[in-house]
Amino acid sequence: MWNTVFPYLLSGISVGGQYALIAIGYTMVYGILRLINFAHGDVFMVAGIVMVYMAASGLPLWLCIVLDLVATAIIGFAIERIAYKPLRTAPRMSIMISAIGVSYTLQNLVLYITGGLNQIYPKIPWISDSITIGSATTKVVTVVTPILTILLVFALVMLINHTKVGMAMRAVSKDFETSQLMGININSVISTTFVIGSFLAGVGSTLYFTNYTTVIQTSGAMPGLKAFVAAVFGGIGSVPGAVVGAFIIGIAENLIKGLDIILFKMGLISKPMGLAIFSDAFTFALLIIILAVKPTGLFGEKSIDKV
């Protein structure tokens, strides 16, 4: 029984870590701008594509990774400046539509550049190697991901709680207008948020695509949505919440992928039910349930509208 479940659990933890790195970008941006950055998943995908093209240019792989992360951060910064900043005083629907427009644009740009073909992600030494742990044979990246995720989240939480820019971020997410009056440079705080979020999505993309090995223009859509669900699940605006949510969703999704086999081994079903297909749908069902029962998520704060 355990031997059946373990491989799914392990890859669940790994994917969960990758979702967590994307989810942080969603949750931080939402915390400050109250915007679902629909383009964030596509930034994650673009990070993968940039890596593919950089590796093909013959640069050393370690340099590619560094440049890729820098490029991803710059892309995140640029998107905010071009597509969101001009709409800061516009109704919320406008900025959300703009985010959808950016998502559409990024996907079409990548479609144009790649010709819509699957791109093979470069093999990064060591983390692409296979290892066997107990009953599971997997890549090293599966084990590295959760550890790296926890380290990065720890660093981020330290940054938010113990640095000046972190304090500014907390202030802005508590009260946008007042912090502006207090002399906080809103624009630089927002930009920092996008840079950090995109950088982490870049790290996530390196780990994710090492695991899944191909990138295409739609590769970011589903992980992006799931990471967003994770952020909502954990209580949007809360970094630790997003991480916990991401791990839960990653694990649940992978267990469902193996549900047929697990149920079969347990003797509960006699033939496969084709349940694996619901691994994505489950995430969204979870989202709707959470929103209906506890819209503020696991760690979110309640707010009251003023009339």
Binding site for another protein (CB under 8 A): 34-36, 82-83, 86-87, 90, 92-94, 96-98, 100-105, 107-109, 111-113, 115-116, 218, 221, 225, 228-229, 232, 273-274, 277-278, 280-281, 283-285, 287-289, 291-292, 295, 304, 307
Give me the amino acid identity at 228.
Answer: F
Q: What is the DSSP letter of 254?
A: H
Retrieve residue 234's tokens.
């954990």
Alpha-carbon radius of gyration of the chain: 20
User: In the bound complex, what is the minimum distance in angstroms from residue 167's beta carbon to another protein?
Assistant: 24
What's the rounded Cα separation, in Å, for the pair 304 and 146? 36
Alpha helix (H) ranges present in 163-238?
Answer: 164-174, 176-181, 186-212, 221-234
Phi and psi at 4, nearest 5°, equal -75, -45
User: In the bound complex, what is the minimum distance in angstroms from residue 247's beta carbon to another protein?
Assistant: 19
Q: Which of 41, 46, 209 is nearest to 120 (CA)?
A: 209
Q: Which of 35, 36, 29, 26 is nearest to 234 (CA)?
A: 26
Name the E strands within the chain.
119-120, 130-133, 136-139, 214-215
What's the rounded Cα separation, in Å, for the pair 76 and 110? 16
What's the rounded Cα separation, in Å, for the pair 71 and 74? 5
Q: Which is nearer to another protein, 139 or 257 (CB)?
A: 257
Q: Which is nearer to another protein, 70 or 291 (CB)?
A: 291
User: In the bound complex, what is the minimum distance in angstroms from residue 297's beta carbon to another protein?
Assistant: 10
User: In the bound complex, what is the minimum distance in angstroms from residue 213's beta carbon to another protein?
Assistant: 22
User: In the bound complex, what is the minimum distance in angstroms from residue 260's beta carbon to another protein?
Assistant: 11
Name the E strands within 87-156.
119-120, 130-133, 136-139
Q: What is the DSSP letter of 301?
A: P
User: In the bound complex, what is the minimum distance in angstroms from residue 59's beta carbon to another protein?
Assistant: 26
User: In the bound complex, what is the minimum distance in angstroms from residue 221's beta carbon to another protein?
Assistant: 6
